[in-house]
A and B are shown apart, each in its own frame.
Chain A
Amino acid sequence: SQTIHQWPATLVQPVGSPLSLECTVEGTSNPNLYWYRQAAGRGLQLLFYSVGIGQISSEVPQNLSASRPQDRQFILSSKKLLLSDSGFYLCAWRPKTGIGEKLFFGSGTQLSVL
């Protein structure tokens, strides 16, 4: 069966520090991968998605970047965090076949930038 791992679960970082959040998927190959952010009291906002190694699409301009160095690894990064980067970050994947397929979410990372 497929599983998705996301870490760390919580992170407290000072403003201006770098960020690296990692997500890996097991039990499948060539998945579509996604990074979402959930601000307090709001729904999820799509930040990045990837359809393959090295292929990254950005949905919103921001202080963050994403990379996919391996087929089942998706990394969210920042060189210098801003206060506004605080939020709950969710990684997700879905198989390529079948439009409308459900999205599988990781357990999330709560990022607090102080």
Chain B
Amino acid sequence: AQTVTQSQPEMSVQEAETVTLSCTYDTSESDYYLFWYKQPPSRQMILVIRQEAYKQQNATENRFSVNFQKAAKSFSLKISDSQLGDAAMYFCAYRSGSGGSNYKLTFGKGTLLTVNP
């Protein structure tokens, strides 16, 4: 079974600075997808970024980028130029590439990010 580990329960960053959130996962599959979801105080789950395992290039979305190390099974999220609105719980998630209709996301326990003005 796949597992996702987020070793940092809480992180803080100064506004305009850069922060990196860690995520490691365990799988025996070669085809899979990795995600970072953001859950602000409203508790709405928002997709931040997605990475296909077969792609060597790291995904980027504006100020958000990932460092995907497939051999090390590591998938960290870097937030550049942090903004107050980035404060939220961040979840790393894994999905098997063979999941079909069963969109089963395996989530880590989350990292609570605080942004200090």
Contact = CB atoms under 8 A, between A and B. Distances in A.
Interface of A: 32, 34, 41-46, 49, 51, 57, 59, 88, 90, 92, 94, 96, 99-100, 102-103, 105, 107-108, 110
A105 B37 CA distance: 11
A42 to B, nearest CB: 6
Contacts of B75: none
Contact of B103 (A34, A41, A42, A88): A34
A103 B109 contact: no
A107 B104 contact: no
Contacts of A102: 47, 50
18 contacts: A34-B103, A42-B109, A43-B4, A43-B106, A43-B108, A43-B109, A44-B107, A49-B102, A51-B101, A92-B45, A94-B103, A100-B52, A100-B95, A100-B97, A103-B103, A103-B105, A107-B42, A108-B43
**Interface bracket on B:** 20 to 34
B110 A103 contact: no
A88 B91 contact: no
B61 to A, nearest CB: 12
DSSP class of B's interface residues: helix, strand, loop or mixed?
loop
A88 B91 CA distance: 15
Interface string B31-50: 00100000000111111001
Contacts of B33: 100
A46 B105 contact: yes
B93 interface: yes
Contacts of B102: 46, 49, 57, 59
Contacts of B4: 43
Nearest to A52: B101
Given A49-B103, A100-B52, A43 B93 contact: yes
Contacts of B106: 43
A59 B104 contact: yes
Contacts of B93: 43-44
Given A49-B101, A51-B101, A44 B43 contact: no
